[in-house]
Structures are given as C-alpha cells and as structure tokens.
Chain A
Amino acid sequence: MIINLVLLVVLPIAAGLASLALKNAAHRKHAASFILLLGIVISGISFAAKPPALDIRLIEGFTLSLEYHVIAALIMVFINLFCFLVCVFAGDYGRDGRDFYSYLPMLAGFANLTVMAGDFLLFAFGWGAMLVLLYAFLYPGSPDSARKAATVVGTADFMLILGIAVFVYLSGSTAIPSDGAGLPMDSPLSFFAFLLLFAGAAGKAGAWPFHPWIPAASTTSSMPVMAILPASLDKLLGIYLLARVCTDVFSLSRAAMGLILLVGGFTVLFAVLMALVQKDARKLLSYHAVSQVGYMVIGFGTGVPIGFAAGVFHMLNNAIYKTGLFLSSGAAGKEKGTFDIGKMGGLARAMPATFVCALIFSLSISGVPPFNGFVSKWMVYQGAVSGMFAADGVLKVIFVAALLAAMFGSALTLASFVKFMHSVFLGQETAPEGSNKAPREAVRGMKYPLIGLAALCVVLGVFPGLFLENVAQPWIRGATAFTGEWDALAAFVLLALGLLAGAGLVFGKLVKKKLKVSDAYFGGQEKSPEINFPATEFYRTIREMPRVAGFYRILDLPVMDIYNVMTSGLRNIGFILYYAVDRFINLLTCAAGAAVLGISSIARKAHTGNLDFYVIWCLVAMVVLFIVIAG
C-alpha cells in the first residue's frame, strides 16, 4: 500500500506542484501524461492484486487509513484513465493554459487518495482538496463561475463534514465501514447524518439542487475542463460516496429510500427538460450531465442489490460517454468556432471519426442497445421495479413516480440528442465563425481519446459481465443479474451486420441508382444564410407549449438556483447578526465608556488646581477617617 500511496498520490501531487515551475506547456504536458499513464498501470495492477490496508496515526483518536474497496479500485483505474485521455486531448485542443497540465496530475492524486481512504478524515481531505482544484480549473475561464462552483460545492462539502461528525458520534469511529453492515437508521439523528452525507455526495455529483454551477461553468470553461470534472471525476467520486453511504455506512430506511428516489427522479426530469431547450452545445451537455446523475441516484434509492449495481455501473458508463460527448463537441466547436448548435451543422462529412464517436456516445446516453448506457439504465429500471414490488404505501407511489421520471427522461434524452446530432453533425453546412478555413477531422491527439472512449461504450455494452462479475458481485454479494432474455453480444452482432450490410450497399455500389441530392425549395426565393431552419428553433416550441411553459417559468426562477438562495440568505443573516448583536454590543460598550467619561468629568470638577480646595478636601477626609476610626 505504501507503493500505491507514493505512486498514485504523492507522486502526482508532488509532480503537479513541481511542474508549476516549468515554463514550457509541452514539458508540463509530457510530465503529466507520463505520471497519469503510470497511474493507470499501478491502479490496474492494484485492482488485481488488492494490497493490504495501511494505518497512519495522526494523533490519538485520529488515525488515517488506506484500504482497497472493490469499487474504489475500479474507480481509481478510471480516474487515471480519464485524466490521461483528457491530457492527451487537451494538448491538441489547445485552449487550456499550461497550468492545466500541472493541475491534472494533482487532481488525479487527490481523487486517488479520496477513494483509497479507509477513514472519513482522509476521505474528507482528498475530497475537499478537489474543491481547490475545481476552483483553479474554472478560474481562468471565468472567476465568477469558479466562485459559484466553489460556493455551491463548498457548501455541500461542509454538510458532508457535519455528516461525518454526526456519524462518528453515532458509530464511535472515523473508519468508513466496509463490511456491508451499515448503521440502522432508527433515530432522527441517524437520518440527519444520512441526509448530510447524501447532500455531500449530491453536491459533488452535481445532482439537484447542487447543480447550478455546472451549466454556468460550461460556457466559460474549456471542454477538457468540463470533461474531466463535472462529466467524469466529480460523478465518479460523488456516486462512489453515495454507494458507500447506501451500502456500507447506513442500512437505508424507507424514508431515506423515498428521499433518494424523489431527488433522483426530479433531477432526471428537470435537467433533461432544461437540456432540451438549450442552444449551446456546452449547456446542453452540462444539463445532461446533471440529468444522468438522477439515474444513478434512483439506482441507490431502490435499496435492492441490482439497483446499487446499476448506480455504480451507470456512474462508470456516464463518465465514459459524457467525457466523450464533451470532448467530441469540443473538437466540433473548435472547427466551427462556436458552440451555438444552430450555427454548427454539417460536420459529419468533414469529421467522420468524430461523428461516429459522437453518435456512439449519443446512443449510449440515450439508452439505446447495445451500448453501455442501455445496460445500466435497464438495470436501474429493473431495480426500481423490484423495489416497487417490495414497497407499499407512499413509498410505492414514489417508486412509480421515479420509474416514470426515469423512463420519460430517457425518451427526452434521446430527443435531445437527436437535436444535438442533427444540428452539429448533420443538417445544413454552415461556414465556421470568424474563419474561412474549412472544418477538418480532429487531429490524432484529439481523435484517439474519442475512439478509446467509444470503444469502451461498446465493450461495456456488449460485455456487461466484465463489470457485473468482477465488481458488482464481489461488492454487493447479492442478486445483480438481469432478469429476462437479453443477449447483448447477439444484439451487437446483429446490429453490426446490419450496419455492414448498409455500408456495403452504399459504398460497394450495390445500389445502382445514384442518390439524387436537390436543394431545398424556398418558395422561389434564393437560398441565403438568413434562410435557415435550425433544430433549436423547433425545440423552442417546447418551452412555449401550454402547461410546459409554466413549468419552465418555475425552473427559471432565481430561487431555483441554490447559489442565489444561499448568497442572499447568508447575507441577510449576516445583516441581522451584525446589527442586532455586534453593533448592539458595541453600542453598549460605547455607552459604558461614555458613562465612565461622564463620571470622570464630574470627578474632574473636584480637581480645580486650587491648593485651598485640596486642603479643604484633606480636612474633610480626615474628619471622615476620624469618625470611622472612632466609631
């Protein structure tokens, strides 16, 4: 474990800090790539070898411990993998400053430390350190976005700390339990602790109501930043915590399950509705990043093994395709000079590899078989249905609502990505903004990470057993298998054969009749740039639909943004405390001072400087003394 600590935590952090002294961005990038590649190898070996736990005594009563949990070991591989791929991509993307390459290994180091932590102290340390790096990553894009993110995530982090404190009070130890026997939630205090830990997890993962910083940051930060934090690492860690809380730390009560399901269902629905009407590719993807968290949360709310497995599997799948989506739209945006999807269009021809990868990511996120998103979403549904049959009363109703939200959300996700793919890669070709250069395929450094991620979507979709048998089964020790007849491999083979046949027909000139391409007819008008029918306009009508419009109005209210609520709320409390307590006490202090001065001004009258006067005083005093002594 010492080797792991050194190579996966100390080395990346130290290297990241040391590389801040390097002036050349390329040198920093190479150093970061090497460290992260090493991280992939070491974490991969550790996944198989499972090194023993290690304790480091900090002070009496507070021991830091490192241990390998089966999910943690898997997540660590992906932490290093994502960081490496994003590092490679960012090199050719060329929008990030040189500090990006110093922060990246540090981020990986702290994330590794967080998941290796066997106690809540070390966990909170790694977890919180990522907040500073989140701030550092977002800051160059927009200091305001960075502030919003730091405030919202920082709030969730402090809730987590309080939750840890209450848990320690209940359990008597700072160790994170790993035996699967969670504390029973049989008192208001245990529910309170759960609520706080849940808030911490939701805050990191970006679930409602801790999501607003993600869309805000999306338009100001570079795509590699969005890909590595809100799309992948934040999700991995947030859901990792939720997984541990729901399985190891607590034994979920009915109320807790209901709460998780409600938050999950609402997150899916509200975020996908917001995503549907976005015109900016980055905002659209960031709302989907929020929406997908809802599925993971629902998985844990089901309280059944298949649901837990689904939550973790969807976390992994989402991190893969969401990172891919951010990176592929980053590649497309770079060529077009804009992220306004109404102005992109027609990139499939110029960027075929990026298009195919983006298509795979889009199909995955929409839950289309045989890709990985389908499998984990299916498992979520299966978990929800199993939980629903076991529930009764209000909880049953909540289960139904969450299931409906998940299914409806999935349909809307597909609708949203039809818009995305059509607007960005298909549709009418538009000229790049601010440049006469024709769009070109992404260069190797950007393309290969996309291909790698797309391949993972296919592999995990076709062979879900890789996850289920190697991670889910050893972790949950319960029924995590599918019910029903679904053969992913057969479905994939059939789909691949269909695609190959189609390609053969088109490219092998088996279709004799040539396709006829005609210009659109615009009522006799000549085609001009003004005559354009972007899909964004079509989807705008959704916002104006009766009843739905009211829902959007509610979602747009300032109170729906927790950042606004907190900043104004805390400021108002601050005013009350300042004027009602601090200034009031100051007034009393000043009044006491004035009273002392008043008394002294009276006493001063007895000091005239006249000798006769002092002699009279002395005589009076002598008389008084005489009376006292004589009496």
Chain B
Amino acid sequence: MMFILTIAIPFAGALIVALANVRHRQWISSCVLGLTLLSAVATVPAVKSGAAGLSLPVSEWFSLSFEADGIAVFMAVVSSLVAFVICVYSGEYMAKYSNRGSFYPWMVLFVGSMMGLVYSANLVLIYVFWEMTAVCSWRLIGFYRGKEDVRAADKAFLVTFFGASFLLAGVAAAYAHFGTTELSELSGSPLPNLIAFLFLGGIISKSAQLPLQSWLPDAGVAPSPVTALLHAAVLVKIGVYVFARLFLRTFVPGEEFLTAVMTVSVITIVVAAGSALVSTNMKRILAYSTVSQLGYIMLALSLNSEIALKVAFIYILAHSLGKAGLFLCAGVVEHETGTKDITMLGGLLKTMPRTGVAYLLCAFSIMGIPPFLGFWPKLMVIILTVQAGYIAAGVLAVAGALFTLFYLLRLFYEVFLGKSGPQEAGEEKTPAMVYSVLFLGAVSLLLGLLPKLPFNFLDQVVK
C-alpha cells in the first residue's frame, strides 16, 4: 500500500505548505515532492510482483478505488521526478515575486491530484482528479494576475473544461451501458464508438491535440516552472495516460476509433510543428512543440499494441525530461533578459554558456537525435506505424521530426548565437536553475546511451 503514500504525501504537503511561512515554502515543497518521488520509487518492487490495489465502496456506483500497476507507477515516478527538479529550480526563479507564496501550495496540490489520477481505478475518481488538476493549472497559469494572464488561464480552463464535459458524459454513458464505473469490472469490454469518442473529447483537450490545442500556446504566459510542470512534464501527459489506461488497459476500442485517433495525431504533429517554425515567442514555440510531440505519443497509443504502449511510455519519459529542460532553459533566459521574444534576443551563449549547452542537450533529445533518449521512442514509433501498414502516417511523422529539427535549431540560433539582441543578459547567477536544467539534459543523454535501463524497467513493471 506504499502507493497510497504517493497520493497522501503531496495532499498533506500542500496543506503544510499553505500554512507555512512564505520564506520556507520552497524548501518544504521540495521536501514534499522529494518524499513523493521516494514513495513512488518504493512502490516499484511491489508492482514487479503484481499490481496492488485498494477499494473502499462509497455508494452503489462509486468506490474509492486505486490500483498501482506498471503504467501507473512508471507515470508516478516520471511525474514526481520532474516535478521535484522543477521545484528545486523554482526557488531562484520565483524569488523575485512577492506573491510566490501562492505558487507552492497549488503546485504541490497539482502533483497530488496527478498522483491521485494515475492510481485511480474508477472512472468517477479519474474525472474528479482530472478536474482538480484543471483547477490547479487554472490558478497556476494565472499566477501573475495580469489581464492577459487571467485571460490565458480562463481560456485554458474553459477549453479543458469543455473537453472534460465530454469525458463526464462518457463516464455517465459508460455507467449507463455497463452498469459500473470500476475499471477492474470493465476490463476487456468492447467499447461503443460513441462512448469512446466522448472520452476522446476530454483527452484531446487535456493533451492539446487538434482541434482543442489553442489553449496551450497561450498558457505560456505563466512562470516557467509552471509551463515546465504543466505543459511539458505533467498536465498534458494526463490525457495520453488516461488514453492508455482506458483504451489499452481497460476497454477494447473499435478500429474506426483508433484510425480517427491516428488521423488526429498525425495532423497535430505536422500542424503544431509548422506553427512552431513561424512563432517568435520562446514559450509559444516550445508549447507548439509539446503539442506536436504529444501527437507522437498518441500515434503510438493508437497502434493499440503492447510494444507500442511501452514505446509510448518511453516517449513520455523522454519528452518529460527534454521538454521540462527546454522550458526551464527558456525560464533562465527570460529571468536574465526579461523577454520571451526571440527577435529581441541573440548571442546569449557568451554570457550563458551552461544554459546554452543544457538547451542543446535537451533539444537533441526532443529532436530524436541519438545518442539521446528521445531517439529510441521516436524511431520506434515511426517503425511501428509503418510496420502496421500506415505508410502515410509514417511519412507525416518523419515530416514532423524534420520540422522539429528546424525549429529547435532556429530557436537556439536566435537566442544563443548571432549578434546580441536589444535585450542583453548578464552572467548566469542562478546556479540551482542552471544545474537543474543540466541535470535533465544529462539524464536524457545517459538514458539514451543506456536504453536498456528504461526499457528493462518498463518491461518489468508493465506486464
């Protein structure tokens, strides 16, 4: 039952952080998230010997059911690891904001909601945690409280809520159809396309797939730790995780449905990557990149096979590490220069060499260039897609990869190289921020060189 601690620690921690003095909130949050990570890791040995579960019936149609299986534990470890690094980073980043005190409780609560969601084994419970993450992200995106920030936060909340209402309708329809909301009882049931598409509505809004993607680039107004946490590492992964949980681990989806998902994902890959190539705002470029990369994960999941599921989860790991690193790099640059507009930047490598190197390490992983971790899942997704007979989808996936190479190199050149822009930067005076990003880049490289480590781990926990 170690996994219950993974949920309980951040929820209790959020309360402690909210009651603590503002000056101490950052390190308390880091400790809470560190403990969350440890408890998630401690769950692994138990899961290797079989899934652990807990169910407390509340009513006829609802139970507090949790289950720690392979994909849940994997997701919990990845999310809590990245959240911990981001929290360490945020100490220096948020120091200058007087209202930073409100950031930490919401952040820890968000991680708690995420942990609750990954271990949920009941449709209603999934929906509850799903909406809790939406509320937390709404508050975190609107952290600065400016008009533009609040508008972006409202947009994110409304679009994801719009999607969530489909999810809720799907939950209701599933209950009406099957007479239960327990995932263990629904396992192996063929899912009518109508319910599947209702679920999908919620999933594509959370994972920012077309046509519900527009909230994510706008949400880049948030502080960088928020964008890294929400838009790279955790929030957007909820959608793909729930997709895997529902369609690859519980229900049996129809062929038409999976084809539709594949179509949406490949269109998203290309459209978002193309949009990233023409944007001039650092965070918007990275946000479009997230949308595009999530398309690859959805593409892998739409193949509906055990190998594709594992590849998708390695992709989640690689993307979480790499993209969190990129958002945090953007944060370092923004922190030092005060702008996100790449036309105002340039030549920062002279004063910020470590940040530049960290950016490249993370960018190469996102591009899918070996020897970084991002290479393995991207290659495998493309191979599996084509192997399944979807040649056109494979071609579009490669086109998206090409776009990724272009826009991430362009971003590096506009920000770190060339002549200095109007916004110059001083030296890197925030070691915790810089080394947090370097850590993420180094892990991407190390796991890329030793791919057997993550694949073995996934192989052992996902059965």
Contact = CB atoms under 8 A, between A and B. Distances in A.
A265 B375 CA distance: 35
A585 B307 CA distance: 34
A58 interface: yes
Contacts of A433: none
Contact of B274 (A56, A132, A566, A573): A573
B405 A151 contact: yes
Contacts of A59: 307, 310-311, 455, 458-459
A470 interface: no
Contact of A132 (B270, B272, B371, B402): B371
Chief secondary structure at chain B's binding surface: helix
A150 B409 contact: yes
Given A56-B452, A585-B210, A162 B417 contact: no
Closest 8 CB pairs of A and B: A577-B274, A574-B277, A165-B386, A128-B370, A574-B274, A586-B214, A578-B275, A129-B370
A563 to B, nearest CB: 11
Interface string B359-391: 000001001011110011001101101110101
A137 to B, nearest CB: 14
B359 to A, nearest CB: 13
A158 B405 contact: yes
Contact of B364 (A62, A132, A586): A132
A126 interface: yes
Interface stretch (B5-13, B124-132, B227-235, B393-401): B393-401
B260 interface: no
Interface in B418-463: 449, 451-452, 455, 458-459
A165 B214 contact: no
B58 interface: no
Interface of B: 155, 158-159, 210-215, 270-279, 288, 306-307, 310-311, 364, 367, 369-372, 375-376, 379-380, 382-383, 385-387, 389, 391, 394-395, 398, 401-403, 405-407, 409, 413, 417, 449, 451-452, 455, 458-459
A582 B213 contact: yes
B73 to A, nearest CB: 18
Nearest to B405: A154
Contacts of B380: 62
A589 B459 contact: no
A585 B211 contact: yes
Given A60-B306, A577-B271, A582-B272, 18 more contacts: A58-B455, A59-B455, A59-B458, A59-B459, A125-B370, A125-B371, A151-B406, A154-B405, A157-B369, A161-B382, A162-B386, A168-B387, A169-B386, A574-B274, A575-B278, A581-B275, A582-B275, A589-B159
A169 B455 contact: no
A61 B388 CA distance: 13
B346 to A, nearest CB: 12
Nearest to B416: A143
Contact of A577 (B215, B270, B372, B385): B270
Interface in A578-611: 578, 581-582, 585-586, 588-589, 593
A26 interface: no
10 contacts: A13-B371, A121-B379, A158-B398, A165-B383, A165-B394, A168-B383, A574-B274, A574-B407, A576-B274, A578-B274
A338 interface: no
A132 B375 CA distance: 12
A155 interface: yes
Contacts of A129: 369-371
Q: Which of B158, B403, B451: most chain A CB closer than 10 A?
A: B451
Interface in A148-174: 150-151, 154-155, 157-159, 161-162, 164-166, 168-169, 174
